[in-house]
Amino acid sequence: MYKRVKGTKDILPPESSLWQAIEEKTRKVFARYCFYELRTPILEPYELFVRSVGEGSDIVLKEMYELVDKKGRRLVLRPEGTASVARAVIENGLLNTLPLKLYYLGPFFRYERPQKGRFRQFHQIGAEVIGDNSLEGEVELVDLLLSVLKEVGLDDLRVVVNSLGDVNERIEYTNALREYLAAYESKLSKDSRERLSRNPLRILDSKDPVDIKILEKAPSILDYLDKNSINRLEQLIFYLSSMGWKVESDPRLVRGIDYYTGLVFEVLACGDLSIAGGGRYDNLIEELGGKQTPAVGFAIGMERVVDLVDKNIIDEDSAKAVLVAFSDVPRMEVFDLLATLRNFIPTEVAPSYKSIGKAIKWASRRNAKFVIILGEQELSERTVKVKILDSGSQYTLKREELGAFFGGYYEKNMDRNAR
RNA sequence: GUGGGCGUAGCUCAAGUGGUAGAGCACUGGACUGUGGCUCCAGCUGUUGAGGGUUCGAGUCCCUUCGCCCACCCCA
């Protein structure tokens, strides 16, 4: 027996409907903000992520699915979206039409130990604003992020923001922090000790109680940011709060990907579950060979959203019909009637049972709203019987009358699918 | 990579200290042969995740292995 590979998932009905609903709703919000979809390949060159995410990052060091193709090219299954967007934007010459407001949605891959809300093949919804370094742009992006989450039915949302400053500010702060922590080196947790030389900022994220105690008196990034950076962060908080969002600043918020500069943020739902994150990356595009171009973006973890979302955002099961045809009805008549019915309502045929009762039972188990009965009698009269399962009432209709009968349902259901 | 929990029918789960693998749901048929939901009756479903060991005898004890879940790490 074959099994799905570790960390992957089959999304079955009815859960797949939930995924569809979330995707549809987010696309609608993106459209309202005039963001357009960019679809990039799942396969990317290995080097792209070494350059962008950072060669010392965990993602590159141990989490990428790498493969070598038949010509010896070193490829990876994309572990995140921003680098691909940057690559595509540069490669297709879109830097001449700034600003760009793009979104994407799809599978990503990281070789990690699976756990709640985390898979090896996971799905992100992301957006990037490229070629805009304004405060307004940041406000809009975070507002967009929260609007998407709200649209899919998430309510208890909170966004935490911080600034990592520019390159110089960050280096200065990193040094100060390292110096402070070095004094406590022997008391720090094992993980934190390892990070002390490589990436002391990450220690700020530690959940070890002793570390947290030590960090209480550690220097704050806020002391190393210039007035403009701080001002800007405060304004961002002000505007977003005025829009009704819950925003707070946390000088300890850092992100694990190297390309972030300036603003970083994270969205927490239902208390402290992190479901989305992002930030500004003003140097990435230049780093990847484009001209210097500022940019901000975010990514939402689909699996985490699916976990939290109220399952009943799925549109109530759209009405459908089951055709029950007696076994002596010529098959061509059955196909013909099916085709007619399907112009008006989603329809499937019941398997042939000995008794019509079984067939109706089958239909009701399948949640059909209507049962269409076609037997010898109906055949000779060119009619069908339409039974409404909820009420049990039944009508004899001529075939030409079917359209009118299902007209109301047609508009309600087909319309929705078309959208 | 580290630590913990768990693998028994399609699903949810039983099976005191080792002693004939079971129930509910689901499914199929019948009571009811052109009209569902209720009820009753009958039937179907298994290398107990896999491999090895101890034993007269292992779902149960021991070892190995695989898988799933959870936490850490990291991140969405």
Å: A289 CA to B23 C1': 67
pLDDT tens digits, A200-231: 787 887 777 777 778 877 888 888 888 888 89
Question: How many angstroms is C1' of B67 away from CA of A3?
Answer: 9
Model pLDDT, residue A411 = 53
How far is A191 from A398, CA to CA, in rounded Å?
A: 76
Predicted confidence (pLDDT) at residue A107 exceeds the cutoff of 90: yes
Nucleotide nearest to A255 (CA to C1'): B75
pLDDT (0 to 100) of residue A25: 95
| pLDDT confidence band for A312 (50 / 70 / 90) | low
**Of all nucleotides in the shown strands, which has a C1' nearest the CA of A58?**
B74
CA A63 to chain centre: 20
Residue with tokens 């010529």: A330
Per-residue model confidence (pLDDT) at position A409: 54
In this structure, of A110-114, A180-184, A244-248, A261-265, the range with the lowest mean pLDDT score is A180-184
Residue nearest to nucleotide B36 (CA to C1'): A361
Q: How far is the CA of A209 from the C1' of B73 (A)?
A: 16
Question: What counts of helices (H) and strands (E) characterise chain A?
Answer: 15, 16
Q: What is the dihedral of CA A12, A14, A15, A16, to 10 degrees?
A: 70
Residue identified by tokens 């799925």 is A314
Note the pLDDT of residue A414. Answer: 47
Number of Cβ atoms within 10 Å of the Cβ of A301 = 22
- In chain A, the percentage of residues whose pLDDT exceeds 90 is 58
- The pLDDT value recorded for residue A261 is 87
Domain A321-418, what fold? Answer: Rossmann fold (3.40.50)
Residue A189 has pLDDT above 90, yes or no: no
Give me the interface pTM, i.e. the ipTM: 0.85
Quote the mean pLDDT of chain A. Answer: 88
Only one residue has tokens 């690559």, namely A87
Distance from CA(A112) to C1'(B74), angstroms, rounded: 8
pLDDT at A417: 41
> Average pLDDT for residues A92-115, to the nearest whole number?
94
CA of A112 to C1' of B66 (A): 18
Mean pLDDT confidence for A182-187: 79
Estimate in Å the CA A343 to C1' B35 gap, whole number: 25
pLDDT of residue A246: 95
Amino acid at A380: S
pLDDT (average), residues A10-29: 91
What residues pair up with A299 in beta bridges, in sequence order? A126, A277
Stretch A150-175: mean pLDDT, rounded?
Answer: 87
* Residue A82: predicted pLDDT: 96
At A350 the three-state DSSP class reads: coil
Distances (CA, A) of A206 to A215, A255, A385: 9, 12, 68
Percentage of the residues of chain A whose pLDDT score is greater than 70:
95
Total Cβ atoms within 10 A of residue A241: 12
| Greater pLDDT, A222 or A324 | A324
Å between CA of A121 and C1' of B58: 39
Range A15-165+225-312 classified under CATH 3.30.43.10: no
User: What Å value separates CA A309 and C1' B14?
Assistant: 34
Nearest nucleic acid nucleotide to A298, CA to C1' distance: B76
By C1' distance from the Cα of A57, the closest nucleotide is B74
More confident residue, A347 or A224: A347
Q: Which nucleotides on chain B have any atom < 7 A from a protein Cβ?
A: 1-3, 26-30, 32-37, 67-76
Averaged over A61-67, what is the pLDDT?
90
Q: Quick check: A278 pLDDT over 90?
A: yes
Query: How large is the angle between the packed helices A167-182 and A190-198, nearest 10 degrees?
Result: 140
Q: Which DSSP category does A118 fall into?
A: B
> Given a cut of 50, is residue A419 above it in pLDDT?
no
Nearest nt (C1') from A304 Cα = B76
- In terms of Cβ atoms closer than 10 Å to its own Cβ (0-12, 13-18, 19+), residue A3 is exposed
Could you give the CA distance from residue A165 to residue A261 in angstroms, rounded to a whole number?
6
Q: How many other CB atoms are there within 10 angstroms of residue A293's CB atom? A: 22
With tokens 């760009």, the residue in question is: A100
Domain residue spans in chain A? 15-165+225-312, 321-418
C1'-nearest nucleotide to the CA of A307: B76
Query: Half-sphere exposure (CA, 13 Å, Cβ side) for A335?
Result: 3
Give the C-alpha separation, A9 to A3, whole Å. 10
pLDDT value at A128 more than 80 = yes
DSSP one-letter code for A1: -
CA-to-C1' span, A370 to B48 (A): 44
pLDDT band at A323 (very low <50, low <70, confident <90, very high): very high
Q: Which residue is nearest to nucleotide B72 (CA to C1')?
A: A207
Pairing between β-strand A321-325 and β-strand A273-280 as defined by DSSP bridges: unpaired
Q: Which nucleotide minimizes the distance between its C1' and the CA of A329?
A: B34
Confidence of residue A315 (pLDDT cuts 50, 70, 90): low
- Give the pLDDT of residue A228: 86
Give residue-wise pLDDT tens across range A390-411. Answer: 888 899 999 999 999 987 655 5
pLDDT average, residue stretch A359-380: 91
In the beta sheet, which residues pair with residue A280? A296
